[in-house]
Each structure stands twice: as C-alpha cells, then as structure tokens.
Structure 1
Amino acid sequence: MMTEEQYLMLCQRRQGFDSFVWQTPPLAIAAQAFLLTASFDHDTTRWVAVLLAIFSGLLGAASVQLLMKHRLCEIEDSERLRVFEEANAAKGYAVLHGPRGPVAGVPRNWIVRRSSFRVWTGTLLGFVGLAIVAAITAVIG
C-alpha cells in the first residue's frame, strides 16, 4: 500500500515524465534540422553528407523511442496514482489521474481530438524518412 508521502513523490515523478514527453520532440527536431541542413548542403562532401544523414535518422529513431518510453512511464505512474486515489476516496482524494475523456459543455473539434503524442511521433518518423532521402541523395550524388 502506498503512503501519502509516496503518493506525492509519484505525482511529482509523473509530472516530470509528462514534461519530458513534450520536451523531446522540439529538441530532437532542432538537432535533426541542423544535421539535415548540413547533409543537404552542396559544400558538404558526399560521405560526410551520408554520415550526417544516417546520424540524423538514428537520432530520429532514438527520439521516437525516448518519446514512447517517457509516455509509457507517465501512463504507468498515472495508473498507480488512480488506484491510490480510488482506494483513498474516503479520505478526500478525487480521481484526477488516468485516461481523460471529454468534459460536458466543452466543445472538441476534429483537430483537438487527435492525439498530440501520435502527431509528434509521426512528425519525428517523417524526419527519419527525410534522413533516408538525404542519405540516398548523398550516395547517388
């Protein structure tokens, strides 16, 4: 059984994972943009361009894995918190963690119904694809 102190620590850890989820994509895209810019530069030698493109692709794949790992940890902690909150509802804990659903009276259009996590994962994978194109372009010359 989790204590209230452990609950508070878990809340902080879950919040940290949530922050990491949204910090990963912009940092990864900035790094990939730098590498791809150098790879596509006409002044870059062919094999350096290939290496930069390959490294950009690896960075993109690693970023997707990191994004997914942070999200998984955040979901696991949310579930642990939800279980504690349900078990301690009599002490005044409300269930705040876990999957979110629509709120009555708050409209949700098609764009906000999309998972931002999936959109960012797709974007990062798009950069991996661009890195593959950059590598092929550099090899072909």
Structure 2
Amino acid sequence: MNPGPPDTQVEDQVSRDVLIAAYTVVGARRTSLDTMMWQVPALATAAQAFLLTIALQTDGSRAAQAIAAALGAVLAVLSAQLMAKHRHLEMSDSRLTERIERQLGLERGLGVAPHAAGRLRLGERQPWWIRLSSYRLWLVGVATFGVADLVVAFDAMANLGLLG
C-alpha cells in the first residue's frame, strides 16, 4: 500500500522550524557584530587620548612624541578598518535576517519587518541629525584623530615646535 505524498504541513513546519533556528543564530551574530563595531571607536578613543597625551607633552623627548603620534595614526587606520569590517558583516547578516523575516511572514503579522531600516520602522520623518549615519560620522572622527596624529608626528620629527 502506497502511503501517498508526504504531508506538506509537516514539511512546511520543518522548513519553518529551520528558518526560526537560522533566524535566531543570524540575529544573535548580527547583534554581536553590531556591539563589536561600536566598541571599536570607544576603545580607540581611549587609546588615542593616552597616545596624544604623550605626544603633546612639552617636556617629553621629540622621539617619544613622534612615536606616540605615529602609533596613534596607525591605530586610527586599524580602527577604521576593523569598524568597517564589522559593519560589512553586520549588514550582510541584517540582509539575511530581513529575508528570513519575509519568508516567515513577520511583516504581515507586525506591519513592518523587525529588522527593516529605521525609516521604515519609525514611519515618520526624523530630524536631520537623527537621519545622519552614526557609522559614517564615527569614521570621520577616527580619521580626524589620525590626521591630528600625523600633524603631531610631523611636528615632532621636523622639530618645528608648532605645538609647544
């Protein structure tokens, strides 16, 4: 006796269970990457403050000032790259999460997908300072530290005395 075609309801349930499991894993990883991305500028700012304190000391040696400032410039580049890498991976997981949400039909049930862009979730026009990309602003900030470090390093190496 032929049992007939497999129960499609069971197949849909297995598929839904797999999607939910994948959603949980990808969502947790996305959150972790987002957290790491914002830890980078926080830690880099603390390190920059330490290095610039050494680099801008007027009673220190020019060599120590130049080395501290050069290390700060390297730190700025490393921080920007790491922040960009975490952002890229987080955005990749965000897109995957959105696809899973569509397949699970979460948008139909909630009116908007939980991981949709902020402008879609909020539904209202936000002030310009809210719409600015914090990620891009922080990259500019990290780059600004790098430029300041290069100026201090050049000043110390050339013994120009521009900064003190």
How big is the alpha-carbon RMSD for the aligned residues of Structure 1 and Structure 2? 2.1
The aligned runs of 1:86-125 (5 Å cut-off) are 86-89=102-105, 95-101=113-119, 103-104=122-123, 106-125=124-143
Q: 2:99 aligns with which of 80, 83, 92?
A: 83
Q: 1:16 aligns with which of 29, 32, 55?
A: 32
Percent sequence identity is 31
Inter-partner Cα distance in structure 2 for 1:77 and 1:98: 12
How many residues align? The count is 140
Partner of 1:32: 48
> Relative to structure 2, which stretch is displaced further, 2-11 or 26-35?
2-11
- Residue type matched to 2:23 in 1? Y
- Residue type matched to 1:101 in 2? R
Q: CA deviation at 1:3?
A: 3.4
Inter-partner Cα distance in structure 2 for 1:126 and 1:7: 38
Partner of 1:7: 23
Point out where structure 2 has 5 or more consecutive residues left out of the alignment: 1-14, 160-164
**Whose radius of gyration is greater, 1 or 2?**
2
TM-score scaled by structure 2? 0.77
Secondary structure at the residue paired with 1:44? coil
TM-score scaled by structure 1? 0.89
Point out where structure 1 has 5 or more consecutive residues left out of the alignment: none
Q: Identify the structure with bigger relative contact order (alpha carbons < 8 Å, sequence gap 6+).
A: 1
2:58 is equivalent to residue 42 of structure 1: yes
| TM-superposition CA deviations, 1:55-80 (whole Å, max 9, x none) | 10000110011111111111000001
Q: 2:78 aligns with which of 52, 56, 62?
A: 62
